[in-house]
Chain A
Amino acid sequence: MSKELEFLSRHVASGKLNRRDFLGRAAALGVGAAFANTMLADAAKAAGPVKGGTLKAGLQGGESSNVLDPALNLSQVNFSFGKCWGELLVELKPDGSLEQRIAEEIGSSPDAKTWTMKIRKDIEFHDGKTVKPEDVVATLERHSDAKSKSAALGILQGIETMKVDGDNVVIGLKDANADFPYLMADYHLVIQPNGGKDDPNAGISAGPYKVTINEPGVRYGGEKFKNYWQGDKLGHADQVLILVINDATARTAALQSGQVNMINRVEPKIVDLVKRISGVTIQNVSGRGFYPFNMFCDTAPFDNNDLRMALKLAMDREEMLQTILRGYGSVGNDFPINEAYPLFPADIEQRKFDPEKAAELYKKSGHSGSILLRTSDVAFPGAVDAAQLYQQSCAKAGITIQVEREPGDGYWSEVWNKKPFSLSYWGGRATQDQMYSTAYVSSADWNDTRWKRPEFDKMVIAARGELDEDKRKKMYHDIAMVMRDEGGLIVPFFNQYIDASGKGVEGWVNNPAQEMCGGYALAMCWLAA
């Protein structure tokens, strides 16, 4: 029986039998539709990608004020389009390891201060020129120049020297950093001819698609680059098109009516409805983004660790996850790292809702009166509800929370990182070190919990320079424990990237690094015949 089905499923994949007939035959053989569909999907994968056609995505996160310059790339649309035309030195694979792209090899000196990247030969830019080590250096120079306003400036600040050495680019760092290769996977660091110094907005790199349409805030398009260095590995469709659809309902309708083949940012509250649309598949993956409640560790009353711990224990994480994210996420443990990061310390005990213990610690802290918590719709979807839910779970521990709803306009400039107790979000970073360095060391501008501990800084710096993985894992475990038990951060949950693909879309591989298969959805998917 299964032999016959296998045979038939291959027929479907090669286009000799249609899907409906196959499902009918499968039913006749006593096979459930779910299993039959799985077989079909497997057969389609085995048959290999279908070439040609136009693949369209409807994406949220594009404005008419956007530009193509990868240095200024901040929104989802530019991110996804950048993966179509841009090429990086290295890229993050779904399992968190690195894939070598323009950099064929990356090696370091034993002190992790000098890094040598061997630049792959014979990669062609869209304008016909060859990618040279000089282009790589020029790119890094442009992004590390404060005047470029590059969003990658922060991660390149550790670079002291860079030079071309034959086929290699040699980078000298101020301080040891074992994560240096991961930093090069930053999506802003698209390698451009002469680093994009001549025209940063030209949209020329070495990715699978050439830019053909650039209408900011409206649509973007690319056509297959014939001389793409990875050949057929990416870029199955002849044309790719991105429509900017910022309205959630319009996005869903576009997918449903088949105007686009995939969309991003399906809101958790409508996921169950979208699931029911025939042919549509919800693509969700745990990311690194989280929604923190930030307390300033240097401001009363939050300068008291008993009070901070009481507020952490008074958080009902499970309820919060089910109510605010409808289960599309995972509970947090009061440090900013989850299993999506390499070297995640998995053996740390999960903190649970414990109103009795919270009440006890609250009494011990000696604080009385209400505590002001600021929130806003823009902090994250459902942030106002989350604050109210927290108010109720705190009440069970005898802690009075006063919720203040702030206007979304100006929340990031007036409230976040300015007021002592507020809701926020973090998109996550490529490595644990980057996350801690960005927001939890004394010198960080974005230290939004005012967590200033010289000994903690030392731990982070030591872990950054450690090349031995086992030792490093142990160090990150210790860092997480300090953060979890003493820090000013309450992490109720990590979110998920929730995208959806339409009828006939095959080849989708979720990537915890980012939404839309890490941005590669248009380049790696194809439309089944």
Chain B
Amino acid sequence: MGSPVLKLVAQRVALGVLLLFAVSVLIFAGTQILPGDVAQSILGQAATPQALANLRAQLGLNDPAYVRYFRWLAGLLHGDLGHALSNGQDIATSVGDRLKNTLFLAFWAAIVAVPLAITLGLIAVRHKDGFIDKLISATTLATISLPEFFIGYVLIYYVAVYLQWFPSVSTVYDGMSFADRMRAIALPATTLTLVVLAHMMRMTRAAILNVMQSAYIETAELKGLSPFEIIRRHAFPNAIAPIVNVVMLNLAYLVVGVVVVEVIFVYPGMGQYLVDHVAKRDIPVVQACGIIFAAVYICLNIIADIASILSNPRLRHPK
């Protein structure tokens, strides 16, 4: 490990932090230009002008926007996400539970989807242009082409209603046994897996095929290694950078893009939480969710960048 790697990694992390600040400005600005007044939406249609004025003063809405931004940012940096306007609960606590649920679902979907996608990619390369390759590509492309709510509804109809194997309502709660929890998330996790599978599988296939053109693969072939061994030992490690990139992108999607799936399967995660509070104009919650989603997205992308830097032999072994 030489200094160029450290420098590059440090650069990436610094860029990520900078980006997060930029996103925080965007989120803050975005929530400011939403139509309607926060105090008005809290008090409802029957609000008196006096009550409105009091509440505005109490919430500090009369201060200029940049003052409010820095106050909010300072809170964020201290881990204080503020209180929800609609029910007065501490946002960090309520988001915490929801985030845990979303991560739980994303984790199990990833555990299934990532190895499956990579294995399918490897198999596709092994049988390049053959029937199996075409079959794998066709099925995964079909599942990515269908909108996720459609896949969700099809699974609900056949697996939950018709076969009754798994529940259609994926409500999870504290004190649920692990087995029950897994049963509950079976269908949403399957839906998510089907949605992210194709992207990762196709990328694995393309990246490895690219490497397969290299001269050293030919050497390996001439050494008499079996085709699968060549892919596993020689091609895959060198194709890892683009694969990690696409895997991270899809992991990020599993966390931040699950709103629709959560709503269909009534899963109590972040997406549903965000939707509920957007409808109520609960700005602090929307801001908090926005920044958490942005942080997850940026972090996973930094990890992808760092992984591809580290997997680059030229950077790992500087002259």
Contact = CB atoms under 8 A, between A and B. Distances in A.
A67 B87 contact: yes
A146 B55 CA distance: 14
A409 B43 CA distance: 17
A164 to B, nearest CB: 29
Contacts of B46: 153-154, 445
A111 interface: no
A253 B266 contact: no
Interface in A144-168: 146, 149, 153-154
B144 interface: no
B167 interface: yes
A112 interface: no
Interface residues of A, number: 38
Given A65-B86, A257-B160, A58 B264 contact: no
A216 interface: yes
A298 to B, nearest CB: 20
Given A409-B35, A445-B46, A63 B276 contact: yes
Interface string B74-89: 0000000000101100
B268 A215 contact: yes
Given A412-B45, A445-B46, A257 B168 contact: yes
B264 A250 contact: yes
Contacts of A253: 156-157, 160-161, 168-169
A219 interface: yes
A66 B87 contact: yes
Interface stretch (A203-211, A241-249, A477-485): A241-249
Contacts of A217: 268, 272-273, 276
Contacts of B43: 149
Interface in B50-106: 51, 84, 86-87, 94, 98
Interface in A75-129: none
Contacts of B41: 413
A254 interface: yes
A424 interface: no
B148 interface: no
A214 to B, nearest CB: 11
A222 to B, nearest CB: 15
B25 interface: no
Interface string B167-178: 111010100000
Interface string A419-458: 0000000000000000000000000011000000000000
Interface of A: 58, 63-67, 146, 149, 153-154, 213, 215-219, 243-247, 249-250, 253-254, 256-260, 409-410, 412-414, 417, 445-446
Interface of B: 35-36, 40-41, 43-46, 51, 84, 86-87, 94, 98, 153, 156-157, 160-161, 164, 167-169, 171, 173, 263-266, 268, 272-273, 276-277, 279-280, 282, 285
